[in-house]
């Protein structure tokens, strides 16, 4: 998925009404921070540290980490919390819009992405594809695998390498010829 396609998903998301504002906030977290579905569903209100501009993430394997909170993600969360989040007793950040209201499950995150793809006229993808798109875009912008690994919260750089597909055409344009061979 290209950066333009990801932006199209975001642009086509309605930012009015409870579901639209919530879905935009979810899509923004997926696209800008590369969160997994389960990480989005587990977010709590206290995970957003507004003073320091960071967000706490509970990853796979019960690991916890913090990521900087980009301005657009913060704005989407503020809109959701101030305009659309129903009054419920749960401390989970995202809640369902229909009764019985409660914390969203990870599979709802996939439904959000599927609806966004349909609105944008794109082939249906799952939320994990947005992680891959973020890794690829970070690589194109010049980030190293270590930085990408930190954002995606991978323990092994080999895993990150699978996500951050190398653009071989762009690489050929900057690669030097192998010593002892002629440039092609």
Catalytic residues: 36, 60, 128, 131, 154, 163
Do 47 and 55 form a contact (C-beta atoms < 8 A)? yes
Q: SS3 of 57, please? A: strand
Q: What is the largest CA-CA distance in the chain?
A: 70
Could you tell me whether strands 48-49 and 64-68 are parallel, antiparallel, or unpaired per DSSP bridges?
unpaired
Euclidean distance between CA atoms 8 and 178, whole angstroms: 40
Euclidean distance between CA atoms 71 and 66, whole angstroms: 16
């Amino acid at each position: 998925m290209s950066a333009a396609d990801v932006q199209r998903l975001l642009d086509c998301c309605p930012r009015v009404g409870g579901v639209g504002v919530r879905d935009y906030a979810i899509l923004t977290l997926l696209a800008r921070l590369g969160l997994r579905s389960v990480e989005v569903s587990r977010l709590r209100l206290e995970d957003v540290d507004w003073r320091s501009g960071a967000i706490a993430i509970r990853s796979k394997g019960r690991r916890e980490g913090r990521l900087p909170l980009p301005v657009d993600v913060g704005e989407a969360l503020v809109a959701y919390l101030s305009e659309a989040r129903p009054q419920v007793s749960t401390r989970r950040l995202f809640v369902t819009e229909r009764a019985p209201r409660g914390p969203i499950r990870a599979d709802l995150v996939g439904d959000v992405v599927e609806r966004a793809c349909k609105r944008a006229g794109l082939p249906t993808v799952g939320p994990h594809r947005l992680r891959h798109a973020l890794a690829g875009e970070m690589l194109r912008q010049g980030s190293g695998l270590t930085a990408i690994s930190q954002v995606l919260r991978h323990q092994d750089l080999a895993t990150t390498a699978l996500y951050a597909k190398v653009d071989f055409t762009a690489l050929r344009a900057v690669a030097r010829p192998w010593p002892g061979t002629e440039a092609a």
